[in-house]
Amino acid sequence: MAFLLIGDLSGVVMTFLSAEANMLAAWADCAERMQSQLDSLLQAMRGAVRPAGWVGPDCEAFLSAFSAQVEHPGAHAVELLGTLGRRARSDAEEQVAASAADGSAAVGPGGGGDRSPPKTTEDSGGPVAVPAGVQDDVGDPAAIRRDAEGITQGGMGDCFFLAPLAAVARTNPAFLEENVWFEDGQYHVRFYEKDFLGRVQERIVTADPEVAGNGVRDSNSDISTMSIFETAYASHRGGYGEIENGGHAADPMFTLTGQDARTYDDESSIDQLRDELAAGHVVVADTGPRDGEGGLFDAES
């Protein structure tokens, strides 16, 4: 059994710097300049530490230390700057190409984002319209918590996403309410991801008011706020086919909150889980693959 923990969401910063295409291109230019300057500096240092006429054990010891502590790490830094610069330029070119293809602007802070409807599958079913009442529910933390408490998985194997979604919604529904809204005839959901440098940035997913016919529902089998998040996550991942066959709950936990989950793979007690919940932490438990019985649960929950 494994369970995932993150801290109280009340302190999460809601605004992050997004990597626009022009920002990525500027960083690529900067990385190339730094790479060239650092390489030139290393070459000058190599010449400076090898003066003519200095020989003997002290010289050998110094050159050995210089090689280990300066030359080799410096060469690695030069190579890394080149790699990061090329990756940033490639990402910038991909964003420009994608924007040109769909007519949208590059993603910036608080705007833009994934716009294409998620591709449906046999398990997801075709798209169905979202009732108008859900527009008000996404702005009501009480409604979000209610929908999470009555969450009912549909025909897709996406419990790895629904479990952390419901856990966050029950622990801090106001946090999710800040990350979903209805505007200009579409739903908008704020997710989080890391750029190529590991920095957290936001990604706004824009979705038409349609959800999967066999998707998540509430306890009355009705479309709910949870359906909006499921559809947005499918769009973010590239289609329902990318989420319907299971996954690791730590991934959507980060996508939903912008915080890395702490994962515990050892056997844990009910008392420990109770203590974490009492501390206001978001907790998700799953069975995971294992041989035989043991842990808190013997079947998927």
Q: Which two tokens stand for residue 196?
A: 């190529």
- End residue of a domain, out of 80, 102, 124: 102
pLDDT (0 to 100) of residue 255: 92
- Distance CA(108)–CA(15), nearest Å, equals 11
pLDDT (0 to 100) of residue 77: 85
pLDDT (0 to 100) of residue 104: 45
8/137 same-domain check: yes
Q: Does residue 180 belong to any structural domain of this protein? A: yes
Q: Which two tokens stand for residue 266?
A: 């050892």
Amino acid at 94: E
- Distance CA(115)–CA(92), nearest Å, equals 18
Mean pLDDT in order along the chain per 10 residues (301 residues): 45 42 80 88 84 80 85 83 80 73 44 65 92 96 96 92 94 95 95 81 91 95 96 91 87 91 70 82 71 49 41
Say how far residue 208 (Cα) sits from the centre of its chain. Answer: 22
- Distance CA(248)–CA(240), nearest Å, equals 16
Q: Which domain holds residue 138?
A: 2-16+111-286
pLDDT (0 to 100) of residue 106: 38
- Distance CA(67)–CA(117), nearest Å, equals 54
76/178 same-domain check: no
pLDDT (0 to 100) of residue 288: 56
pLDDT (0 to 100) of residue 102: 56
Q: Does residue 296 belong to any structural domain of this protein? A: no
Of 252, 93, 78, the residue nearest 158 (C-alpha):
252
Q: What pTM was estimated for this model as a whole?
A: 0.64
pLDDT (0 to 100) of residue 300: 46
pLDDT (0 to 100) of residue 59: 84
- Our count of domains for the chain comes to 2
131/246 same-domain check: yes
